[in-house]
Chain A
Amino acid sequence: ETGVTQSPTHLIKTRGQQVTLRCSSQSGHNTVSWYQQALGQGPQFIFQYYREEENGRGNFPPRFSGLQFPNYSSELNVNALELDDSALYLCASSSLAAGEETQYFGPGTRLLVL
């Protein structure tokens, strides 16, 4: 176990709705990265948060947004859900300031958009 937790484990939404996913980072880690993993594919980088600010972003539209809190936990928000947003959403924590970029993943949140 990595110590990275995510909630909820599963979620069903309908098209057009909004969703918030949560991640608690491993103790001692100050950086959280979010990934989208479609069925049968590798994780795709959404964005990374370091010291409560976005520190890099992949090729995802602005309706994907995030937050990082002073305790380093993080949220991923997706607005105006589309069917293609159905996927496993993974967060990974790391300790960027220490120069240690190794990322440890949580179990993921499986989102189904109907």
Chain B
Amino acid sequence: GENVEQHPSTLSVQEGDSAVIKCTYSDSASNYFPWYKQELGKGPQLIIDIRSNVGEKKDQRIAVTLNKTAKHFSLHITETQPEDSAVYFCAASDNNDMRFGAGTRLTVKP
């Protein structure tokens, strides 16, 4: 089955700096890669996703890149703000089986 590894487990940045979170996956059949943000006491919230026929996608301060050959994808957050502080999860899916990474706790210091 799919195995998703996520790094780093914790990340602390100064407000205004960029943050990068990286994930690798094992199953070449995976074709959908979402990123979720989870705040304390809440369910995961989708922030951006990318499909296997696209190499990069951007939405305002958030961007995701995908390298299918190397089986890795990354989340980039620019101009970080304190409200970006949360746990971020990457996931890989082959339609009905979504596997998550272990999460990255991002802290943005004002």
Chain A residues at the B interface, C-beta cutoff of 8 Å: 2, 4, 33, 35, 40-45, 48, 50, 55-56, 58-59, 90, 96, 101-108
Known: A33-B98, A42-B102, A43-B100. 11 other contacts (CB 8 A): A2-B45, A33-B96, A56-B97, A58-B97, A90-B44, A96-B95, A101-B32, A101-B93, A105-B36, A105-B46, A107-B41
Closest-by-CB residue of B relative to A48 is B96
Chain B residues at the A interface, C-beta cutoff of 8 Å: 1, 4, 6, 32, 34, 36, 41-46, 49, 89, 91, 93, 95-103
Asked if A45 and B98 make an inter-chain contact with CB atoms under 8 angstroms apart, the answer reads: yes
Residues of A within 8 A of B34 (CB): 102-103
CA distance A59 to B6 in the complex (A): 20
Residues of A within 8 A of B103 (CB): 40-42
Given contacts A101-B32, A103-B34, A105-B36, contact A45 B97 (CB under 8 A): yes
Shortest distance in angstroms between A57's beta carbon and chain B's nearest beta carbon? 9
CA distance A105 to B36 in the complex (A): 10
Shortest distance in angstroms between A24's beta carbon and chain B's nearest beta carbon? 13
Asked if B102 and A41 make an inter-chain contact with CB atoms under 8 angstroms apart, the answer reads: yes
Asked if A102 and B49 make an inter-chain contact with CB atoms under 8 angstroms apart, the answer reads: yes
CA distance A45 to B49 in the complex (A): 18
> What are 16 A-B contacts with C-beta separation under 8 Å?
A2-B45, A4-B43, A33-B96, A42-B91, A42-B100, A43-B89, A45-B98, A48-B96, A56-B96, A58-B97, A102-B34, A105-B44, A105-B45, A106-B43, A107-B42, A108-B43
Closest-by-CB residue of B relative to A110 is B41
Asked if A45 and B46 make an inter-chain contact with CB atoms under 8 angstroms apart, the answer reads: no
CA distance A101 to B101 in the complex (A): 18
Residues of A within 8 A of B100 (CB): 35, 42-44
Closest-by-CB residue of B relative to A91 is B43
